[in-house]
Amino acid sequence: MKTILKNCNLIDGLVSNIVKNSNIVIQNEEIVEISIGEMKDVQDAHIIDCTNKYVIPGLIDCHVHLVWDGSDDPQSNISGKDPETIALMAYKHALATLNTGVTTVRDVASPGRSVLSLRDSINQGHLLGPTIVASGPAICMTGGHVHYIGVEADGEDEIRKTTRKLLKDGVDLIKVMATGGIYTFGEEPGSPQLTKEELTATVDEAHKKNKKVAAHAEGLIGIQNCLEVGIDTIEHGIFADEESIRKMAKKGTYLVPTMIVMKRLANDDSIPGWALEKAKQVVGPHQKMLEKAIKYGVKIATGTDCGSPVTPPEYYHDELLIMEQAGMDSMAVIQASTRVAAECLDLRDRGVISEGKKADMLILPSNPLENLSILKGDKEIIKNGKFVNTEKSTTKSELVVS
Ligand SMILES: [Zn+2]
């Protein structure tokens, strides 16, 4: 049976205007037809009246840690647990993420096969959840940034072999730690970690298999190293200078800013003092960097670091507000969170609302372009053609949810 969203205001992720009076026909998991204006008679379909409602593609978060719960000390909750138990905990966080309207995530560091197994179960349709793109464990230097959810490797040969092993294990991308960060004791966000030679080895191996490399890169030297060796996505990018930002724009490197996690960390004294101090130092430069990146036309894909300390999944929408405050218009923010994010993740089957794509969509009660914060509120979430949150339903429908 088909489902038809009738007479909606469509924000499709592609064009920069709202397409009024749109009808979207969903069959099984896919969008099979989009028409404008009067609908022709359709037999055997659930018709959902979306008059005065707005439909956008399901949102995408390009930087999450599903194994962490976003509490003030997420690592302690998984520390010492086996990967199977951690995978079940990650499933709970994946469901919470889907319920915020995020229908796809890229997970960029998880221990063992925990999130890789969860990815397989969800992506193959055995469990309900957001589509997952996963790096498995991040590659870091011995004792490097969040080494407890990574795999430690040193020197070109070890890095090359570790990258090959991860690819053999079925990861969708490689994540590397190019600099220090906030939430590992005894390191500075600005200090480089993996060397240029080590980064080159991982990029070589990943690109041979057509996989991208995402780099945690907060300090300038680390960012410069990443740009020089052809890293595909820069995560955080806090201390990028003007030259690096121009280079990102020129090379088409994606920036995944994760502004919200730094703001949360800098304003919550429940975290250890040493982390709080570091967080407070990065918030200002991070904001200025994002403003410049927008100005110079860097490809920005929305990512939050949700799961990290004091940042559970519901903070996703605050990231969008920060992007808008930094200079993006609201349509650009929605596109960064849908189409551009899908491109960043190499997902060609979703991220926009058009014929032949997977039916991941949100039905919103008012215009998000006028106020992005309405994305936080009640909405209906369609994942792979099925409504997933009927208890919050705001649209009259006779649809029976399975
Ligand atoms: Zn992260």
Query: Which tokens in the block code for residue 122?
Result: 């969800």
> In the chain, where does the domain assigned CATH 3.20.20.140 lie?
59-344
Alpha-carbon distance 227 to 90, whole Å?
32
Cα(305) to centroid of ligand 1, in Å? Answer: 5
φ, ψ (nearest 5 deg) of residue 159:
-65, -45
Cα(401) to centroid of ligand 1, in Å? Answer: 34
Cα(261) to centroid of ligand 1, in Å? Answer: 9
> In the chain, where does the domain assigned CATH 2.30.40.10 lie?
2-57+353-392
Query: Which amino acid does the sequence have at 125?
Result: G
Cα(279) to centroid of ligand 1, in Å? Answer: 14
Cα(364) to centroid of ligand 1, in Å? Answer: 29
Cα(350) to centroid of ligand 1, in Å? Answer: 23
Cα(15) to centroid of ligand 1, in Å? Answer: 31
3-state secondary structure of 123: helix
Identify the architecture of domain 2-57+353-392 in CATH.
Roll (2.30)
The sign one gets for the Cα dihedral 77, 136, 109, 373 is negative
Cα(215) to centroid of ligand 1, in Å? Answer: 10
Per-residue pLDDT tens, the chain, 402 aa: give them: 899 999 999 999 999 999 999 999 999 999 999 999 988 777 789 999 999 999 999 999 999 999 999 999 999 999 999 989 999 999 999 999 999 999 999 999 999 999 999 999 999 999 999 999 999 999 999 999 999 999 999 999 999 999 999 999 999 999 999 999 988 888 888 899 999 999 999 999 999 999 999 999 999 999 999 999 999 999 999 999 999 999 999 999 999 999 999 999 999 888 889 989 988 999 999 999 999 999 999 999 999 999 999 999 999 999 999 999 999 999 999 999 999 999 999 999 999 999 999 999 999 999 999 999 999 999 999 999 999 975 544 444 433 333
Alpha-carbon distance 330 to 146, whole Å?
34
Ligand 1 is an ion; its neighbours by CB within 5 Å are: 305
CATH topology for 59-344?
TIM Barrel (3.20.20)
Nearest to 146 by CA among 104, 193, 190: 193
Residue 314 burial (C-beta neighbours within 10 Å; 0-12, 13-18, 19+): middle
Cα(148) to centroid of ligand 1, in Å? Answer: 13
Q: Are 62 and 342 in contact (CB under 8 A)?
A: no
3-state secondary structure of 370: coil
Cα(124) to centroid of ligand 1, in Å? Answer: 25
Q: How many CB atoms lie within 10 A of CB 169?
A: 12
